[in-house]
Chains A and B, each alone.
Chain A
Amino acid sequence: DAKTTQPPSMDCAEGRAANLPCNHSTISGNEYVYWYRQIHSQGPQYIIHGLKNNETNEMASLIITEDRKSSTLILPHATLRDTAVYYCIVSSAGGSYIPTFGRGTSLIVHP
């Protein structure tokens, strides 16, 4: 599976949009981009995933560049409860899917 690069930390004001970048320059054509987050001492929580097109759900939006080498997770109106470590993962569409986690981005939402 392709490797991802994320900034180690970011901060955001409550109520503002949080834009978390992820670089996956070696992604191959059949690999999905997944985002998870982990709030302290809890299990990771699935947020969203996509292949080529931008995706939106009730939690977030995922913007994937046309060349698929990078993506951005957008939390449109961040709240204090969004403070967590966010993981960007790429994984093949074929065979088994085993999320492989890096260090992620620690997002702090402040009042």
Chain B
Amino acid sequence: KAGVTQTPRYLIKTRGQQVTLSCSPISGHRSVSWYQQTPGQGLQFLFEYFSETQRNKGNFPGRFSGRQFSNSRSEMNVSTLELGDSALYLCASSLGRGGTEAFFGQGTRLTVV
């Protein structure tokens, strides 16, 4: 079956702009989680959506937001971009319950200049 698809793969934005990233989960998976990965902080959890509702949230400012659609596809948005937002953004798809594994996409590499 098809894996997790993230688009775009690479993105360059200017400080102050906003950006929207997309994630299509594995068919049948209702949970999508988002992560930010930087060399200094490692993989950090942003938020999780399950059945169109945000179920869990990490410790990130309100500039980071997301949503999930009825087909489980998810988008995350970052407004008023800062240089420090440059990172690899990863999404993970799962059935959304304990004892099951998560599958990650290849990520979107965002560079803020």
B42 touches A93 (CB 8 A): no
Which of under 10, 10 to 19, 20 to 34, or 35 or more describes the interface residues of A?
A: 20 to 34
- Which residues from A are CB-within-8-Å of B103? 46
Known: A44-B43, A101-B42. A95 touches B98 (CB 8 A): yes
Per-residue CB contact flags for chain B residues 1-45 toward chain A (1 = under 8 Å, else 0) read: 000100000000000000000000000000101010000001101
A45 within 8 A of B: yes
Chain A binding site: helix, strand, loop or mixed by DSSP? loop
How many chain B residues sit at the interface, stated as a range, is 20 to 34
Structural contact, B104 and A98, CB atoms closer than 8 A? no
Residues of B within 8 A of A30 (CB): 98
Chain B interface, DSSP helix/strand/loop, else mixed: strand
B104 to chain A: closest CB distance in Å?
Answer: 3
B99 lies within 8 A of A43 (CB): no
Binary interface profile of B, 44-73, with partner A (CB < 8 Å = 1, else 0)? 010010100001100000000000000000
Given contacts A95-B97, A103-B42, 7 further A-B contacts (CB under 8 A): A43-B107, A51-B99, A96-B48, A96-B50, A97-B96, A98-B45, A99-B45
Enumerate 5 A-B pairs (CB-CB under 8 Å) in ascending A order: A95-B98, A96-B48, A97-B98, A99-B92, A101-B43
**Interface residues, chain A, with chain B CB atoms under 8 Å away:** 30, 32, 34, 41-46, 49, 51, 91-103
